[in-house]
């Protein structure tokens, strides 16, 4: 089965399973797990931050970061298609007590001037702004990248008003690869960043928050409160270390596969696909046909052993990842041409 639904569907590699079996472990709540400590150090080094913190998931990384940066009753500025706004069960409101102010986006970026205007002046009627959050790569925009320049601009504005910036960098290494920069450059001015081991990097579980030491001390407390203290978590961290060592250097292959599928799709009738959004491992498109709906396309792909899911009535997102080979990618292209080709 070729699973195009998400890179979260990847299974651990043999090397990951072996590293997990052999991992040296200890009680991470007491910071005694050498493998977790190593992963946190490697992650912090890669992102140019003082230290790191292993958390259970991207969602936990985001909520722990925001709890640590803000106070209840403050405002969080987000791009309107942000994952945190759409897909994290409203956790920022429910757990962090943040009021969300969304701004329109273009390829996942907010207009810096609009961000500045949204940081309301401090007066009796207004909620103070607690944080601005960015998402890189931007999931709902189709895996688009936020550049170093854009990120720095937003950070400069926020910091000028005393507001911290969090980056949901679930796939930050994909952005770095696509932009040809170091991941640390993309987060240099941000106060916190989370990235996921369990998405394009292919590890089974886990995300890492990185930031300065004082922030991570607070984050460690919130992780504990949320039940994220995982004891012998070196089992998980071991796979994460393999992911950073072995999977990071091959992310560009996923981008090539996505581009290939996107170019085939874009030429098919009724497909609306902005090729400018195809920057990393995702292909986001709309299908506008009388003879086949997005749901029916996915149903027909199942007949080719391809697993896909519509995101709305007309929208579909394909995610290319380590468990889809280049020859699988060709199979996907053939299937798409057969189902959507002219005359069908
Ligand atoms: N994204 C998943 C889910 O929406 C199912 C996906 O398939 O793309 N930030 C971003 C940008 C994400 O894409 C995701 C997950 C998360 C945070 C949350 O990570 P997890 O699933 O580990 O909590």
Provide the angle, in degrees to the nearest 10, between the axes of the packed helices 34-47 and 234-242. Answer: 40
User: What would the two tokens of residue 54 be?
Assistant: 């292993």
Q: Whose CA is nearest to atom 3 of ligand 1?
A: 87
pTM over 0.95, yes/no: yes
Neighbours of 290 (CB within 10 A): 6
Q: Whose CA is nearest to atom 16 of ligand 1?
A: 58
The pairing of beta strand 207-211 with beta strand 192-196:
antiparallel
Whether 59 has a pLDDT exceeding 60, the answer reads yes
The pairing of beta strand 207-211 with beta strand 271-272:
unpaired
Q: Which tens digit of pLDDT belongs to each residue from 64-87?
A: 999 999 999 999 999 999 999 999
Dihedral sign, Cα of residue 111, residue 114, residue 119, residue 121: positive
The set of protein residues with a Cβ atom below 6 angstroms from ligand 1 is 6, 8, 57-59, 83, 87, 135, 139, 168, 170, 196, 198, 207
Q: Whose CA is nearest to atom 7 of ligand 1?
A: 6
Whether 344 has a pLDDT exceeding 70, the answer reads no
Q: Are 4 and 302 in contact (CB under 8 A)?
A: no
DSSP assignment of 171-237 equals THHHHHHHHTS-HHHHHTT-SEEEEESSSTT--SS-EEEEE-HHHHHHHHHHHHHTT---SSTHHHH
Asked whether the bond before 142 is cis by omega within 30 degrees of 0, the reply is no
Q: Which of 95, 166, 172, 196 to mutate to test the pocket of ligand 1 (most atoms within 8 A of CB)?
A: 196
Question: d(Cα 106, Cα 9) in Å, to the nearest integer?
Answer: 28
Q: Which of 3, 56, 78, 170 to mutate to test the pocket of ligand 1 (most atoms within 8 A of CB)?
A: 170
User: What would the two tokens of residue 287 be?
Assistant: 């299908």
Q: What is the CA radius of gyration of the chain?
A: 20
Q: Are 277 and 141 in contact (CB under 8 A)?
A: yes
Q: Which residues contact 290 (CB under 8 A, 6 or more apart)?
A: none
* pLDDT band for position 342 (cuts 50, 70, 90): low
User: Exposed, middle or buried by CB within 10 Å (0-12, 13-18, 19+), for 155?
Assistant: buried
Average pLDDT over every residue of 83-98? 98
Q: Are 286 and 271 in contact (CB under 8 A)?
A: yes
Whether 19 has a pLDDT exceeding 70, the answer reads yes
Q: Which tens digit of pLDDT belongs to each residue from 111-126?
A: 999 999 999 998 999 9
Kind and range of the H or E element at 261?
A: helix 251-266
Q: What is the dihedral of CA 277, 279, 283, 286, to 10 degrees?
A: 10
Conformation bin of residue 302: beta by default, left when phi > 0, alpha when psi is -120 to 50? alpha
Q: Which tens digit of pLDDT belongs to each residue from 292-315?
A: 999 999 999 999 999 999 999 999
Q: Which tens digit of pLDDT belongs to each residue from 253-262?
A: 999 999 999 9
Kind and range of the H or E element at 131?
A: strand 129-135
DSSP 53: E
Q: What is the residue-averaged pLDDT of the chain?
A: 97
76 φ, ψ to 5°? -115, 125
User: What would the two tokens of residue 298 be?
Assistant: 């996915």
| Amino acid 267: pLDDT | 97
Question: d(Cα 285, Cα 312) in Å, to the nearest integer?
Answer: 11
Whether 37 has a pLDDT exceeding 60, the answer reads yes
Q: Which atom of ligand 1 is nearest to the CA of 198?
A: 22
| Domains (range + CATH), the chain | 7-248 (3.40.640.10), 250-340 (3.90.1150.10)
Question: d(Cα 110, Cα 115) in Å, to the nearest integer?
Answer: 7
Q: Which tens digit of pLDDT belongs to each residue from 139-176?
A: 999 999 999 999 999 999 999 999 999 999 999 999 99
Q: Whose CA is nearest to atom 19 of ligand 1?
A: 58
User: What would the two tokens of residue 279 be?
Assistant: 């920057």
Q: Which atom of ligand 1 is nearest to the CA of 5?
A: 7
């Amino acid at each position: 089965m070729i699973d195009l639904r998400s890179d979260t569907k990847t299974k651990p590699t043999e090397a990951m399973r072996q590293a997990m079996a052999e991992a040296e472990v200890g009680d991470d709540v007491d910071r005694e797990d050498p493998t977790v400590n190593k992963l946190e150090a490697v992650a912090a080094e890669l992102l140019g931050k003082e230290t790191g913190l292993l958390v259970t998931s991207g969602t936990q990384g985001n909520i722990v970061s925001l709890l640590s940066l803000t106070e209840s009753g403050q405002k969080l500025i987000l791009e309107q298609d942000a994952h945190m706004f759409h897909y994290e069960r409203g956790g920022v409101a429910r757990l962090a007590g943040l009021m969300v102010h969304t701004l329109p986006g273009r390829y996942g970026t907010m207009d810096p001037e609009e961000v500045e205007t949204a940081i309301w002046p401090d007066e009796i009627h207004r909620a103070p702004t607690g944080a601005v959050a960015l998402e890189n790569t931007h999931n709902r925009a189709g895996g688009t990248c936020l550049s170093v320049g854009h990120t720095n601009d937003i950070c400069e504005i926020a910091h000028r008003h005393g507001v911290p910036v969090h980056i949901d960098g679930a796939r930050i290494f994909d952005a770095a690869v696509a932009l040809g920069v170091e991941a640390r450059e993309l987060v240099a001015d941000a106060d916190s960043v989370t990235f996921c081991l369990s998405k394009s990097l292919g590890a089974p579980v886990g995300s890492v928050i990185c930031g300065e030491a004082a922030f991570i001390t607070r984050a460690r407390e919130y992780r504990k409160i949320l039940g994220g203290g995982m004891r012998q978590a070196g089992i998980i961290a071991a796979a994460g270390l393999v992911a950073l060592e072995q999977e990071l250097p091959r992310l560009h292959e996923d981008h090539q596969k996505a581009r290939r599928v996107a170019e085939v799709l874009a030429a098919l009738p009724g497909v609306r696909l902005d090729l400018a959004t195809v920057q990393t491992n995702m292909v986001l498109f709309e299908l506008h046909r009388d003879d086949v709906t997005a749901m029916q396309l996915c149903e027909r792909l199942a007949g080719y052993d391809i697993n896909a899911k519509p995101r709305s009535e007309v929208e579909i997102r394909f995610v290319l990842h380590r468990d889809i080979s280049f020859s699988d990618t060709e199979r996907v292209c053939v299937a798409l041409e057969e189902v959507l080709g002219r005359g069908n």
